[in-house]
Chains A and B, each alone.
Chain A
Amino acid sequence: MIELIGEILKAIIIIGTILAGILAILIWVKNQTKNITYLRTLIQVAFIPLIFLGLIVGPFGLPQSPPAGNAPREVLLGAENLKGWFPDGITVPVLACYYPSGRTVTCAIWQIQSYIYPFWNPGLGFWGTFYTNSGIERLAIVLGLLIAMSLVLGRFFCGWICPFGLYMDLLSNIRATFKKGYRKFSEKTNTAIHQLRYVIIAAFLIISIIFGSQAIFGLQLVSGTQQGEYVYNYFSAPYCQVCPMKPLCVLTETSLGYMDPAYVLESTTGAFYEAGYFLTSLNLAILVLVTIIALAYRRFWCRICPLGGLIALFNRYPPFKWASITRLNKVEEKCTKCGICKRVCPTQVTEVYEKEGGDVTTSACILCLRCVEMCPYEDCLKLNVAGKTIFKSRNWVNSR
């Protein structure tokens, strides 16, 4: 207990130092065109230890969580209270990867896939977890949380909280350091890339249902899906085998000494296409590819991310659209069509510029508020939460 309090204090000091440092920078930089960006970076950085708090306070070295990679269940948020009902921890709509040792919350995509296949029925899960309820009940909890969070915050998660979003921003900053301009996709290509996430969602849902047909419908459609068999071992969460966040988390934890490199590599077996468990060649190839593209195109992955797509589905499409409370509003009378909002948008959203005022939030918008920050017209663009304005554009040109 004393050790845990000590670890928590250590975490608070580290987080506090980071926050104080960024606040100092914020105060130092009076440039109004960067204030929201700095605040956003501050929140993104603060959420890294919060999402992966186990990196700091995890009871590493204890028998129940050896550095081989077993998740320390003690730090999983909600797991202790919900016990067998929800032992994988609270769902969050950010890429809070399931695989690293120290996560405190769990990525919704992993939960949705895994509760369809292989954990549809009550019983043993990974790492000694035991599910006392059915997959459909767990899916209802995941989707309930996801819908509630999406209605309240929308894709604010993508812009302000998601660790992979921060990684994308850092890559953009590397390019900016070398004074290199960003590349842009053509409008049609960009729209197609944004739409790809819905195809990815449909694909992993259908694949998971087909893999889990034995448990769900009582008829096995694909062989090798039983416990211990090929599909169960290597493709039980199909999207996770191609997600670039997984290798990033695993590599970070391995480099920090929280996961055993030998174990991580051992679990990767066979040919290129044969996915391992922690670190797979396919995962790594996609991470490298995404990293290279993200160096040229800002927030590249955020345009494809299926988790962002799920949030958009539960926030920007009827009937959820009518109930969402976080909206980006535009006052048409104050807009001069200068086009700054269109140029600065990291995901190349054009609707803020093109729409005729009112709610201009779109499914592609990650609510990073770069447009609000850069719009030089007082009160033209506003972020409203439940009708209350949180951020608004300011006339930064005259105030300089």
Chain B
Amino acid sequence: MALPAEIANSYLATFTLGLIYGSTLCTSECLPYVTSYIAGIGADFRKGVTATFIYNSGRVTAYAILGALAGTSKLFINNSLLLPYQKYTLLTFGIISLIVGIGILLKGEHSSSACNGKNCKPLRLWRLTGRFETSAFIMGLSKGLVVCPPLLALLLSSLAFSTPIDSFILTLLFGLGTALSPLLILGGVTGWLLNKAPLLSRWTSRIGALILMLLGVSIIINAITL
């Protein structure tokens, strides 16, 4: 059964909107976190792109969850609910960034590089544990749960559709659009460049982790003062 034209057009428009916001606001917002994370885990180009992709997957999942919630419970219409929601999701994202930063720092301290001056492999914490993929996903998920103005507008406009499933599909399409952003390339390039310095990977990892922790602390402060 074919979709009605207006709904199909809305789907396409939402995906396009996602692409536009993904290339602009989303890339800008997420760049410091993603590059710090990539520096922290010592990824190369491929792993940098993959980490960014996983981070974006977390955001897409969050958008889909929010869409489903909005469609079923009309959660975001009530302003008195929205403000505390924003505060606590922001706080969660800050705490998760801080924990991921501490995790990278501690992991880096306990891992040893097998470099002897040359012919050494970069310190790929990625390979040591699978938890870091989860970290990228959780970071993306917690970031996605913080409702940004374009997403809020989308959630509210999706309520006009007849079924709750439309809200879910619209936010999912929006999320997929934002996931296909220049952030993937920027993450890959960051990994590519830093991977050329395997002997300094411990230091870049520490710096990346510290920046992530600082970003986390600044978000926590922002959330508390909200």
What residues of chain A have their CB less than 8 Å away from a CB belonging to chain B? 186-188, 191-192, 195-196, 198-199, 201-202, 205-206, 209-210, 213, 216-219, 221, 313, 317, 350
Contact = CB atoms under 8 A, between A and B. Distances in A.
B138 to A, nearest CB: 23
Place the interface of chain B in its size category: 20 to 34
Contacts of B117: 186-188, 191
Interface stretch (B26-34, B50-58, B64-72, B162-170): B26-34
B35 interface: yes
B27 A217 contact: yes
Contacts of A210: 31-32
B14 interface: no
Contacts, number: 66
A313 B196 contact: yes
A199 B194 contact: yes
A115 to B, nearest CB: 16
B197 A218 contact: no
A54 B38 CA distance: 44
Interface stretch (B79-87, B124-132, B198-206): B198-206
A209 B24 CA distance: 12
A195 B118 contact: no
Q: DSSP class of A's interface residues: helix, strand, loop or mixed?
A: helix
Interface of B: 23-25, 27-29, 31-32, 35, 39, 115-118, 186, 189-190, 193-194, 196-200, 204
A204 to B, nearest CB: 11
Q: DSSP class of B's interface residues: helix, strand, loop or mixed?
A: helix
A252 B32 CA distance: 39
Contacts of B197: 192, 195-196, 198-199
Nearest to A309: B196
A202 B203 CA distance: 14
Given A188-B116, A218-B24, A213 B198 contact: no
B25 A218 contact: yes
Contacts of B28: 213, 216-219, 221
Contacts of B25: 217-219
A202 B200 contact: no
A206 B37 CA distance: 13
B32 A217 contact: no
Given A195-B198, A196-B200, 12 more contacts: A187-B117, A188-B199, A195-B196, A195-B197, A198-B193, A199-B194, A202-B190, A205-B193, A206-B31, A206-B190, A213-B28, A217-B27
Nearest to B23: A217
Contacts of A221: 28-29, 31-32
